[in-house]
Structure 1
Amino acid sequence: MDSDALPSVPGWLRSFLSVLEARALTLVAAATALVLLVVFYYPVATVFVEAVVVDGRPTVEPLVSVLSSRFYLVDIFGFTAYQALLSTIASVALGLPGAWLLARFEFPGRETLRSLTILPFVMPSIMVAIGFVATFGKNGTLNAILQAFGLPTVELLFSLPAIVIAHAFYNAPLVARVTTAAWESVDASAIETARSLGASPTRAFRDVVLPQLLPAVAIGATLTFVFTFASFPIVLALGGFQLATVEVFIYSRIQNLAYAEAAALAVIETVISLGLTYLYLRYEGRQRASGQGARPQPRRSLWPGSWTPREIGTRAGIAVYAVALVAVFVLPIASMLLTSLTGSNGAITPEHYLFLLERQQTGASYQVRPLPAIRNSLLFGGATLLVAVPMGVVLGVLTTRQFRGRAVVDALAMAPLAVSGIVVGLGLLRGLVFGVEAFGTRIQVTGALAIIAAHAVGAYPFVTRSVAPLLGNLDPRLVESARSLGASRVRALVDIELPLVAAGVVAGAAFAFAISIGEFDSTIVLAEGSSSYTMPIAVERYLGRRLGPATAMGCLLLAVTSLSFVVIERFGGRYGGRGGF
């Protein structure tokens, strides 16, 4: 800090401010670690303790009962892993052709289609579930189409195929995103060299391109498995308790106040997820360090110059894939919109939206009313930004600095990605919500504060992953020049680095807001009655009674989250697929 700028400040205060500025980054990092400790690690630790301490007595009985039970190991964990494996296979199968299309072809709307691959991180999962109910339900769009062609109807709801298809909707774009980035990083010179040595196009692809794609496919598949292993709203809405995964069963145990059993299940699930996430982070770090190709392959026109049998076969395959994309990605959203505007007599009418207004005016206090749900979602989203963005930026700075133990800090900072919202919600409920004694004072964090804490925990890693790649790509000489001119480390960060990565900060903030708006897992555990319900909770509550109002609320949720997508698409640019999400 320039001493001439504070002529009236006493010398001792100027010295204190100078020392404070010099240590500001360390202090902010310590404050961030403290917040993370209180709102994440302590609640998760509470869950772990409850799995081995019952009624104040240490015991391993809850864990042993789970690990020795065929019901838990086969019916719950086995089915959870099985549906996650099927969902991963479906996501990879649906995502890889999309990566090939985006990486190898040039066509109008290509950049827009590429931008849509961030939708899994923006679109609330409960809204996706509503779209699939409107599509695959008994009176859904699919059966209406089948009946129009005189074909027999099908019933896919509350079945494993419905869960797998919905998971593919959510995770295939993730696979496509990371694989597209890898495909575009393949050096065209290496392929040309292989062809000049006599390799056929198939041999060149197998020996040169495929080895560079497999790591990206493995990363996408690992993330997909982690996400689908801990999936909750989609399984709850499309599978119900008869197809219960670990997450659904933990929720049912919480509802029945069987906290020790829920904690034991949560501990085992968390250990599995953390292990897979750790392997993913290590593998991704090695792949990022390996660098990218010097010259990408040129893209081909989607409309071929000559209609050879090979070109005809390629375009026929693309056409079939386009039909699959429409069926899996477009039809559920279109069905939700159509159902929200279709009355009981089949006519187009706004009656479901009018029902929401009527419920707002005449609904009882215990019923879900739309305006408080919308207000709560917006307020929680804004408050989440105030917590998640500073935390994410600070951790982004730390994870791009070279220091001993950086890998540990990176893993600890990204741990919330591997811990489900149900586990975080259970930990907050049993810890801060119920209260904890500290220094003779009972500390409680309830209501909106607990929900905001849970949302911030789930959101800040996306800020970090949006900011860290940009910080890591900055020329270190910029900071060195500023430091040589007398700027402190914090001043260099604020005046030079952050303005250069402002787009990443804005994109990260949009991610955080969208995640808060769509968060369902922790909110359903922590919400204290209808007064603290959010839009996703309202959608789930309406779904249990009437599909029309549920789709109407889902469309309102879609409108809000679409704004976040526009901001991310505008400011996120292309870097998200390479360094962040």
Structure 2
Amino acid sequence: MRWPSSDRVVFPAGVVATLGVLVVVFYYPVGRVLLAAIDLGGTPLAPIVDVLADPFYVGLAHHVFADPTGIPAGVGSWLAAGGPLSAIEFGLFGFTAYQAALSALASVALGFPGAYVLARYDFWGRRTLTSLTIVPFVLPSILVAVGFQAMFGQTGLLNDALAVVGLGPIDVLYTLPAIVLAHAFYNAPLVTRFVTGAWEGVDAREIESARAMGATPIRAFRDVVLPQLLPAVLSATVLAFVFSFMSFPIVLSLGGLELQTVEVWLYAKVQSLDLEAAAALAVLESLLSLSLMYLYLRYESGQIASRSGGRSRSRRSLLDGLGTLRDPRRLAVLAYGCIAAVVFLGPVLSLLVESVTGPEGAFTTAYYEFLLAQQASAAVGTIAPLTAIRNSLLFALGTLAVAVPMGVIVSLVATRGGRGSRLAETLLSAPIAVSGIVVGLGLLQTLVFGVDVFGHRLTVTGWLAVVAAHAVAAYPFVTRNVTPALAGIDDRIVDAARSLGATRFRALLTVTLPLIVAPLVAGAAFAFAISIGEFDSTVLLAEGGASHTMPVALERYVGNRSIGPSLGPATAMGSVLLAVTAASFVVIDRVGGRYDG
């Protein structure tokens, strides 16, 4: 009997296996949630129409669904008020989009200058700094929220510093600027990564030609450099908008009651068991985020296609390239460095300082001793910190085992061409644009509670359910790293191996994979760190102390006041989570040789 060749088996089998995993742990559970919004037993789409017709959710736009003939009256009342922007009722979706847009713009404003410095100048520690720029992005969002509380709270590090010089206190928490700044902390490094890569790929000869024809440096940047940066900027902006739109712990912790978003309201509906309204919100949020994700993939493909492969501009020394101390460029870089240090280092340092500072400002280890006491406690509901650390690391390893192969398969589908490859990649990358709350809720209603399969009750609970949710959340980041590298491989190299007798599968193993090791390891680092920091779905799926993770433990400690009114226990747990997350990401990233150039 002649067995089929590996060319005809391995890749199709990988695609089938990937689709099988997605159907079981993503499409089916999420589909069950979304079907609740269709209400097949009653009026079709009634829950969605109810949301769209409610001014609380969509503001002035509710006239379109509640009373189409009353639209002129609604617009008329706005015009009668003089047409001020403040008179428009945007509703929950409008405010969520508004804060996400502000957050995306703030992320670009904070990340773009950093890309300029990293792409154009060389200085001591540049490689390490480049490696660390992505650490804020992979930090757990609940950790970022606690860091901002430790810095900007009434007893935070900022107000303590202002008190020394006789100023303050200032009240920043529970305001829109606090949310926007926290989102910028989270997403600006992503902008820096995207734009730095595009900037380094700009052909120096085009700039030199423009300057030789009389263009000023500003005009050469506007006419030559900026058009080549635009796809990267737009891609990063879309991603920052999607992540800010679906942000949960940051808004929950820093927003207060008056600054709730769709994601927080969705969680509240799940908690109150109003699953029909939650499903309607999930449908509308997912449609918006998936549409934006499709646009992002289009921009990414345009970015890859526009790479010229020309000669990159050499970096100048930061000290020599900026002239004297009075040089405006030097002053601008120094000012940006100060702002970046406050925004990025401030919350992290505040977290660490608060964890060892007592109520009177003296050094203390009481908060870490509290964690050890929790570890030794046998009280019901107690979260043991060491158990949470162990769970997080084990879940992250399990996530790697599932997410990395899935991410590579999706990248291969995306780069094999064809009319439907971009649409297929969008569908296969859908988890990146679907709320973790929705995924967690879907898994609860299906695999966790049990599904009848051929007369048998199939249940997936505990660590297996958590790993499944983490893998679904993480594998698109593997794809995002691997796809551009696969698309950039010269087909002639693979063809040469094939002409020498190698099968497609052997060419993949011996030619293609060695060329994508660095981005593959970088994607694995993302997957590992994202699993460690995943909170949205884990908070719904964790069953008692046996499957609690570090972010869930941190969320529990935020409200703990066992040793006083400070954030001490939460900052101590957050410091542990910070150390584990940063060390894991940097070690995996550097071992893989991601920054070898």
TM-based fold match above 0.5: yes
CA deviations on 1:519-570 (whole Å, 9 max, x unpaired) are: 0111112222343221001111101124111111111111111222222134
Q: Which runs of 5+ in 2 are unaligned?
A: 59-89, 562-566
Alignment deviations for residues 66-123 of structure 1 (CA, whole Å, 9 cap, x no partner): 1011111133111111111111121111111111211222222222222222224421
Contact 1:122 1:564 in 2 (8 A): no
- Which residue of structure 2 lines up, in the alignment, with residue 169 of structure 1? 185
Q: Note the C-alpha offset of 1:383.
A: 1.3
The partner residue of 2:10 within 17, 21, 24 is: 24
- 2:445 equivalent among 422, 425, 430: 430
Question: In structure 1, what is the Cα distance between the partners aligned to 2:412 and 2:425?
Answer: 11
Amino acid at match of 1:423: V
Residues 233-382 of structure 1 mapped to structure 2, 5 A cutoff: 233-292=249-308, 294-304=310-320, 312-382=327-397
RMSD: 2.2
Selected match of 2:194 from 143, 168, 178:
178
Of stretches 465-474 and 231-240 in structure 1, the one that deviates more from structure 2 is 465-474
1:198 to 1:478, Cα distance in 2 relative to 1, 3 A = closer
Aligned to 1:99, which of 110, 115, 136? 115
**Partner amino acid for 2:572?**
A
CA positional deviation for 1:428: 1.4
Shift of 1:223: 1.1
User: Cα distance 1:297–1:259, how it changes in 2: closer, same or farther (>3 A)?
Assistant: same
> d(CA) in 2 for partners of 1:450 and 1:305?
54
Matches within 5 A, 1:505-516: 505-516=520-531
Does the 8 A contact of 1:241 with 1:249 survive in 2? no
Rounded Cα–Cα distance in structure 1 between residues aligned with 2:593 and 2:270: 39
Moved more, 503-512 or 316-325: 503-512
Q: Hey, what's the Cα distance between the residues in 2 that align with 1:461 and 1:85?
A: 23
Opposite residue 528 of structure 1, the aligned amino acid is E
Would you say the 8 A contact 2:51–2:57 is kept in 1?
Answer: yes
Q: Secondary structure at the match of 2:415?
A: coil
Question: Which residue matches 1:395?
Answer: 410
Q: Find the counterpart in structure 2 of residue 215 from structure 1.
A: 231
User: Could you tell me whether the CA contact under 8 Å between 2:136 and 2:344 is conserved in 1?
Assistant: no
Return the offset for 1:57. Answer: 4.1
**Pairwise CA distance, 1:358:** 0.5
Match of 2:484 in 1: 469
1:61 matched to which residue of 2? 46
Say yes or no: does 1:560 pair with 2:580. yes
Give a deviation string over 1:102-148, Cα, whole Å, max 9, x none: 12222222222222222244211111111111101110000000001
Number of positions where the alignment pairs a residue of Structure 1 with one of Structure 2: 560
Q: CA deviation at 1:178?
A: 1.3
Q: Does 1:198 align with 2:214?
A: yes
The alignment's TM-score, normalised by the length of structure 2, stands at: 0.89
Q: Secondary structure at the match of 1:295?
A: coil
* Alignment CA distance shift 1:492-1:216 (3 Å): closer
- Aligned partners of 1:382 and 1:524: how far apart in 2? 19
CA-to-aligned-CA distance 1:464-517 (integer Å, 9 cap, x gap): 223333333334344434444544332332344334433333332222111110
In structure 2, the partner of 1:526 is: 541
Pick from 73, 85, 103: which aligns with 1:87? 103
3-state SS of the aligned residue for 2:372?
A: helix
**Distance (whole Å) between structure 2 residues aligned to residue 43 and residue 21 of structure 1:** 33
Q: Percent identity?
A: 57
* Partner amino acid, structure 2, of 1:59: P
Aligned to 1:452: 467
Q: Cα distance, 1:371 vs. partner?
A: 2.0
Q: Does the C-alpha gap of structure 1 residues 486 and 360 become closer, same or farther in structure 2, counting only changes over 3 Å? A: same
Q: Alpha-carbon deviation of 1:258?
A: 0.6
Q: For 2:6 and 2:187, how far apart are their aligned partners in 1?
A: 45
In the superposition, the TM-score normalised over structure 1's length comes to: 0.91
- CA distance in 2 between partners of 1:131 and 1:412 (Å): 35
Contact kept, 8 Å, 1:363 with 1:369, in 2: the verdict is no
1:121–1:511 contact (8 Å) kept in structure 2: no
**Corresponding residue for residue 31 of structure 2:** 45
Q: Distance in 2 between matches of 1:453 and 1:306?
A: 50
Structure 1 324/431 Cα, relative in aligned 2: closer, same or farther at 3 Å? same
Deviations 1:243-268 (A, max 9, x none): 21111111111110111111100110
* Structure 2 contact 304–488 (Cα < 8 Å) conserved: no
SS, match of residue 442 in structure 1: strand
d(CA) in 2 for partners of 1:351, 1:306? 48
Cα distance, 1:315–1:459 mapped onto 2, change above 3 Å? same
CA distance in 1, matches of 2:409, 2:309: 31
Where 2:214 maps in the other structure, the secondary structure is: coil
What secondary structure, in the 3-state scheme, does the structure 1 residue paired with 2:36 have?
A: helix
Separation of aligned partners in 1, 2:321 and 2:245: 45
Amino acid at match of 1:438: V
Q: Distance in 2 between the 1:476 and 1:277 partners?
A: 28
Change (3 A) 1:306 1:277: closer
Paired with 1:67 and 1:307, the residues of 2 have a C-alpha distance of 58
**In the TM superposition, what is the alpha-carbon distance from 1:302 to its structure 2 partner?**
2.1
Distance 2:100 2:500 in 1: 55
User: Partner of 2:537: helix, strand, or coil?
Assistant: helix
1:285-319: CA deviations, max 9, x gaps? 1221112351223333322478569x522212222
Q: Do the aligned partners of residues 192 and 481 (structure 1) sit closer, same or farther apart at CA in structure 2, a change above 3 Å counting?
A: closer
Find the residue that maps to 1:51 and give its secondary structure.
coil
Stretch of structure 1 that moved more, 57-66 or 297-306: 297-306
Runs of 4+ in 1 over 6 A off after TM superposition: none
- Show the counterpart of 1:571: 592
Instruction: Report the equivalent of 2:518.
Output: 503
Provide the rounded CA distance (Å) in 1 between the counterparts of 2:353 and 2:107: 26
Q: Is the 8 A contact 1:66 1:264 kept in 2?
A: yes
- Asked whether the 8 Å contact 1:511–1:564 carries over to 2, the reply is no
Unaligned runs of 5+ in 1: 1-11, 577-581
**Which sits farther off after the overlay, 391-400 or 373-382?**
391-400
Question: What are the superposed Cα offsets for residues 330-372 of structure 1, whole Å, 9 maximum, x if unpaired?
Answer: 0110111111111233221211111001011125121222122
Q: Distance in 2 between matches of 1:195 and 1:483?
A: 45
1:92–1:221 Cα contact (<8 Å) kept: yes
Letter in 2 for 1:320: A
Query: For 1:572 and 1:426, how far apart are their aligned partners in 2?
Result: 38
> Which secondary structure state, in structure 2, belongs to the residue aligned with residue 437 of structure 1?
strand
1:59 deviation in Å? 3.4
Q: Secondary structure at the match of 1:176?
A: helix
1:413 aligns with 2:428: yes
Q: Is the 8 A contact 1:467 1:505 kept in 2?
A: yes
For 1:23, what is the secondary structure of its paired residue?
helix
